[in-house]
Structures are given as structure tokens and as C-alpha cells.
Structure 1
Amino acid sequence: MATKRTNRQLVYMSSAVNAEAIWLTVLPSRGRSNASGRFLAMGQPLTVQDSLQITHRQTNMYLTCDPAEKTATEFGVEYEAFADRSTVPGKLGLIVSEFKGLSTSQTLSKPDAPIFAWHFVASNDRSAAQDRRTLPPPATKDTILREVQDAVKARGVDAFWNLREFFQQVEKRTLSTGKIDREDLKACLLDWGINTSSHYLDTIVDLVDNTRLGLIDVREFLAVLRGPVSANRERLVEDIYHALDRNHERVVDIDEVTRHFHGEGHPLVTIGGLSEKDALAHLLKSFEVKGKAPKKVTYEKFFDYYADLSAAIEDDYYFEDILRSNWIGFFKK
């Protein structure tokens, strides 16, 4: 368990029956900073609505919560729980970063603060003791993926473009060949601004790293992250590319792209305030390989550019309007 504020892992939970998994209950010392509560013996009755302090057996850390980290629910106000301790080697100190500016006497009394006390509600009626809160359903791979997708989309219409460019910069810097270590990938997502738990990131990475070899194909990962492109949108992109590919070679000269692209309806122009020339430069930059501009553009590169845009746009008509304005006269009837 860790504090949300410092994100420090302080107590590791374990499913095994050992000291890591055992928590002890102790009666609060009622504000006497130098008094120690007594541990409750097994079977000792509790006073209804009484408070207890819960201490981790192995680390001597108190189960506590931060009043600032609270959420209103239909059950009432819920606090995020974390583990804190009253002793560090040689002195009482708690976590210094959490309680800066406190005097020694104030620090000594911290374990007796209300946030360390937990209420256990007892009842003779079994049904009355049941938790009837309406809690969110357990997170699944789909809900986790949707949450991370929403976090990316919240960055704007160019979010997936920017994320791909970020990975291209990493690839150029590390001289990688389109693959990245899973831990480096998670670090990149955090650096880019995807602020979610390590467990959620692991779940997303696992969708691609099925073999557990540890190396992730960046293009495949981004395809999973942005989600599938509808058949109709994919057909629109194919129509443009096939019109550019006059020799049917599945590659297009970069000069053809430059000659026929119109930036007037590009979202970076209409929304982002860029010039049409800048919009073209943005498109051409997405075709680069390790920072170098190619002479030919593959369908995969061309498709990825508009697939990234597609992920950020919900309206099918708006997406089609953008393509039609970018590539005037390139659509089949």
C-alpha cells in the first residue's frame, strides 16, 4: 500500500500466510503521545462503533488515510487507505515528506491522530452488517484500455500523432528498430503524461506482449491503444493511397504526396492554427524513419497517420470531410 501523494510503496500485500499478510489491531492510546495501546487478544469483544488502530505486523506501519484524498460515494465519504509507520531507525518520524514542518512532539503524537483510527461496526443481525454500496465493477482489460485511450484523447485531436512522434524520438535516440522494452515503454507513457497505475500499464502492454518476451512492437502497440479503424474509414484512406499509387507498387513517391496534399481542412489548421505549409510538414514528418525523410511512402505509414487521427475523432462525417479537403478529387464515386 502506498500514499497517493508520494506514490511510495510502503507495505507489500501478500496472499501467503506470513508476516507480510498479517495485520494487528490495537486500541488507540487516546492522544497520549508516549502511551502505547494494547494489542487485542483473539476473541476479545469490541465495543460497538469503537475505534481501532491497525498495524502491519512485519513493518509496524499503521493503516491510515489522507483527509485530502477523499471521494464522495452513496455510502458516504471514502478515503484512500495507505500504510504509515511511527518508527524509523533510531527515532520516531513517520514519513518525513508527508509531515514537513512538524515539531518532534507533534510528530510523536501522529499515530494517535483520527486518520489512523478505523471503526468496526458490529451487529447481531447478519443482514444488517452487509455492505450494500454500489461500487464500480471490477476493472477488466477492456475498461482499462478504454481508460487509457480516454487519457490520450483528452490531450486533443493531435494526441495520437504526438504520442507516435514521441516514440519516434525515443527510437531515434536509442537506435532501436521499432521495438522497445516493456519497462521502457511504460516509462515513456508516464513521461508523455499518461498518469495511471503501473498495473494498468502492465495490462495494456500485455495485450501486445502475449509471448512475454519483453520487447514490444511500437506500431502494434499504438494500433491496440488507438483501437480499430472502421471499415468505411479504412476504405477512404485506401482510396486516397491507391489514387496516389499510380504504378500500383504499394509505395508512393514523396513528391506525389507533396504535390497533391491540401492543408486547408486539416485539423491542425482549422483547430490548431497552423498554416497549410505546416500541416504538410506535419504529414511528411510522420513518414520519417529514424529521423530521415524517405523518398517513398508505404501504405502502412500513410494509414497510420490517418488511423491516429481517426482515433481522436468520433464523427464519421467530420473525418470524411477532413480527408476530402486534404485530397481533392481523389475519391471514387
Structure 2
Amino acid sequence: MTCTARGNRELKAKMEKLKRTAKTPIELLRATCLARGASGIKGLGRTFKIIDDDGSRSIDIKEFRKGIHDYGVIMEPETIQELFDSIDRDHSGAVDFDEFLRALRPPMNNGRRQLIILAFRKLDKTGDGVVTVEDLRNVYNVKNHPKYKSGEWTEDQCLREFLDSFDSPDDKDGKITEDEFINYYAGVSASIDNDAYFDLMMRNAWKL
């Protein structure tokens, strides 16, 4: 179950307003990412992953500026520096971008977080921390998918489409990690104010 078109529209409208009232650089970047929809934070994560040439999963201020720029976020240089400094609390000159993305997630209570993790672990049949088409095969039934029914698509094509809906539009690799799944649902969560509705939605969608 991915964020509906209506849910994404509501989230984008909400975040456009928050962009104008953000009090800190991280609030501004969070709102800017989620103004692109529920996959906004995950998309920024993929951008940083691409520029992390040595695979260290940490970035310096130069790479940080490039990541922000490549994702298409317009921020003043001093604002980017302030944002970087607020994350680089030990003043090492580098930030762990997984920690950065976690800080970027909208505030979310533990009940919502646990539901998201429960859904991910139900999908992750192999328990290796990554959801692939193979994991989905016995979880997601494609028989009612219109393109499967018409014979236009195979089961694997339908499963891949489902997986891609959680992925970043410009960088779909057919794999979803737990962190990426949480980043996505943190965006969905930001569009839903009512805890009971979020709980019901998750339980119905994933049969938890």
C-alpha cells in the first residue's frame, strides 16, 4: 500500500505551507523534500548515496552541498552550512547520511514506527533487511492486477511495479531497505494527523 494520489496532494499542500513557516534549516529541508510527495526523503537519500563515491556513508560539506544541489533544493550557502553544522555535532567535518536522513524524518510516535517496521518485516520474507521481487512473490497477489489479467504483464513485472512505487522515481533499483521503507512511510505519516486512522490504514493494507 503506497500513498494515494490524494494523500500525496494533501501532503504536498501541507508541506508547501510549512516551507514558509520553517524555523530551522532542517525543518525547511524536510518540508522541501516532502513537498515532492511521500518518497521525497527517500529520494534525497538516493541522491546522497550516488555522490558517496567511496561507500563510506559519510559526507563532508562539499559533498553535502552537491547533494542538496543535485536534488534540486535551492538553499542559501549559509543555510546549508548551518544545516550541516547542526548535524555534525562532534565537529568532525563529516556527517553520517543515514543519521541525517533519520533526523530529517517528520516527528513520528513509537506506535506508528512499530507498525511500519512490522509491515516491512512481513514483506521481508528472507529476513535479510532488503525487500525484493522474490520476497513479494508470496505476499502480494497480482491476479487482480489489470495488466496481469489482460496478459500484458507477467507476475514479475507486476511485482516490480509494486516495489518501484516505494522507490525513488529517478533511481529505481528494485530493492527496498528497512530505512528506505521507514523514510517513505514517515512521509505518508506526515499526511495523516489521526493516529487511529494511520493504525487502521496500516493494519488493513498489510493485514497486520
TM range, smaller chain: 0.5 to 0.7
- Unmatched 5+ stretches in structure 1: 1-140, 264-274
**What is the RMSD of the two structures over their aligned residues, measured on CA atoms?**
3.5
1:221 offset after TM fit, Å? 0.8
Q: Of the candidates 161, 183, 188, which is equivalent to residue 307 of structure 1?
A: 183
Please tell me whether the aligned partners of residues 38 and 185 of structure 2 are also in contact (alpha carbons under 8 angstroms).
yes
One-letter amino acid matched to 2:93: G
Structure-to-structure mapping, 1:118-197, within 5 angstroms: 143-171=24-52, 174-197=53-76
Structure 2 counterpart of 1:225, which letter? L
Q: Aligned with 1:216: secondary structure?
A: strand
The 3 A distance-change label for structure 1 pair 244 and 293 is closer
> Is the partner of 1:180 in helix, strand or coil?
strand
Within 5 A, what are the aligned runs for 1:107-122?
none
**Any idea what SS the aligned residue of 2:50 has?**
helix
Matched to 1:175, the amino acid is D
Task: Tell whether the 8 Å contact from 1:261 to 1:280 is kept in structure 2 after alignment.
Answer: no
1:249-271 deviation line (CA, Å, top 9, x unaligned): 674774334431469xxxxxxxx
Q: Is the 8 A contact 2:30 2:105 kept in 1?
A: yes
How many aligned residue pairs are there? 165
- Tell me if structure 2 keeps the 8 A contact 1:226–1:308: no
The within-5 A match list for 1:314-333 is 314-315=191-192, 316=194, 319-320=198-199, 323-324=202-203, 326-327=205-206, 329=207, 331=208
1:280 aligns with 2:124: no
* 1:152 Cα deviation after fit: 1.6
Identify which of structures 1 and 2 has the higher relative contact order when contacts are C-alpha pairs closer than 8 Å and 6+ apart.
2
Find 1:225's aligned residue among 65, 89, 104: 104
8 A Cα contact 1:160 1:226, kept in partner: yes
Is the partner of 2:59 in helix, strand or coil? strand
| Mapped contact 2:26–2:104 kept (Cα < 8 A) | yes
> Which structure shows the higher strand fraction?
1
**Given that residues 152 and 159 in structure 1 are in contact (C-alpha distance below 8 angstroms), is that contact kept between their aligned partners in structure 2?**
yes
Call closer, same or farther: CA 1:282–1:311 in 2, change over 3 Å.
closer
Structure 2 CA distance for partners of 1:245 and 1:311, relative to 1, 3 Å: closer
Cα shift readout 1:70-96 (whole Å, capped 9, x = no counterpart): xxxxxxxxxxxxxxxxxxxxxxxxxxx
Structure 1 residue 156, shift from structure 2 partner: 2.1
Deviations, residues 265-314 of structure 1 (Å, cap 9, x unaligned): xxxxxxxxxx764231344x67xxxx9877xx8xxx31432333323533
Q: Which runs of 5+ in 2 are unaligned?
A: 1-21, 143-157
Q: 1:198 to 1:224 in 2, by over 3 A?
A: same
Residue 241 to residue 192, structure 1, CA distance change in 2 (3 Å): closer
- Per residue, is there more helix in 1 or in 2? 2
2: distance between equivalents of 1:142 and 1:149? 12
Inter-partner Cα distance in structure 2 for 1:165 and 1:321: 30
Paired AA for residue 168 in structure 1: K
- Superposition deviation, residue 324 in structure 1: 3.8
The DSSP-based 3-state class of the residue aligned with 2:55 is coil
